[in-house]
């Protein structure tokens, strides 16, 4: 349960509303941890109860009021504490891979079709990450270096996925040849 900590990480740099955070989750941090806006609002509520964040009401004209959250001392303490203890390895839950594992049931053509859909998604992500990495101006600043490394992680991940997809294609083709020649 480190949605909490992901939020605290974001709040470190700047005061932000739930809405702001949700947008950032959709981009930057979403690369390593994703969450919907409902989850974020809920978690902000809990963090507030535990005095790890506080907010001020900002009335706006035209737009609805907003709550600008900032991290407190307790919040920072909690974050530091969390950073110190080892992180559990991420648990893997990949539905598409379950399909591959049970692939002998479906026919190869439908697998290939879905493979291409997934590959499109990965290619899209790859482009996004590469764009963002290119736009990082000063790579030597502390903050940017870590953002850069995070992006690199995403890039290498997508690339590995796409390479795997290439292997799948050629294996399935090989298989086709075998069966038609028998």
Partner DNA sequence: TATTGCAGCGCAATCCGTTGAATAAGTAGT
Partner DNA sequence: ACTACTTATTCAACGGATTGCGCTGCAATA
Among 93, 113, 134, 135, binds DNA (CB under 7 A): 93
- Pick 40 or 155: Cβ nearer DNA: 40
Asked whether position 85 contacts DNA by CB under 7 A, the answer is no
Tokens matching residue 52: 């790890």
Rounded-to-integer distance, Cα 125 and Cα 115, Å: 15
Phi, psi of 136 (to 5 degrees): -70, 115
Which partner, DNA, its own copies, none, binds residue 169 by CB below 5 to 8 Å per kind?
A: none
User: Which range, of 1-9, 41-49, 57-65, 126-134, touches its own copies by CB under 8 A?
Assistant: 1-9
| Cβ 168 to its own copies shortest distance, Å | 6
As measured in angstroms, the least distance from the Cβ of 129 to DNA is 21
Question: If phi over 0 gives left and psi between -120 and 50 gives alpha, with beta otherwise, what is residue 68?
Answer: beta
Exposed e or buried b per residue across 65-101, where buried means at least 16 C-beta atoms within 10 angstroms of its C-beta: ebbebebbeebeebbeeeeeeeeeeeeeeeeeeeeee
Number of residues that bind DNA (CB under 7 A): 27
String of contacts with DNA for each residue 20-59, x by CB under 7 A: x-xx-----------xxxxx-xx-xx--------------
SS3 67: strand
Closest CA to 58 of 26, 24, 28, 20: 20
Where do contacts with DNA occur on this chain (CB under 7 A)?
Answer: 1, 3, 17-20, 22-23, 35-39, 41-42, 44-45, 60-67, 91, 93
């Amino acid at each position: 349960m480190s949605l909490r900590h992901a939020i605290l990480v974001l709040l470190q740099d700047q005061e932000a509303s739930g809405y702001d955070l949700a947008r950032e989750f959709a981009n930057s941090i979403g690369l390593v941890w994703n969450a919907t806006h409902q989850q974020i609002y809920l978690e902000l509520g809990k963090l507030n109860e535990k005095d790890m964040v506080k907010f001020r009401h900002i009335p706006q004209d035209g737009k609805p009021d907003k709550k600008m959250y900032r991290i407190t001392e307790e919040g920072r303490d909690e974050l530091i504490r969390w950073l110190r203890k080892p992180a559990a390895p991420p648990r893997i839950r990949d539905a598409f891979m379950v399909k591959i594992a049970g692939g002998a049931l479906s026919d190869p053509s439908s697998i290939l079709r879905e493979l291409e859909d997934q590959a499109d998604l990965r290619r899209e992500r790859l482009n996004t990450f590469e764009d963002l990495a290119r736009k990082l101006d000063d790579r030597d600043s502390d903050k940017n270096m870590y953002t850069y490394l995070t992006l690199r992680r995403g890039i290498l991940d997508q690339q590995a996925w796409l390479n795997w997809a290439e292997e799948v294609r050629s294996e399935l083709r090989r298989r086709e040849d075998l069966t038609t020649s028998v």
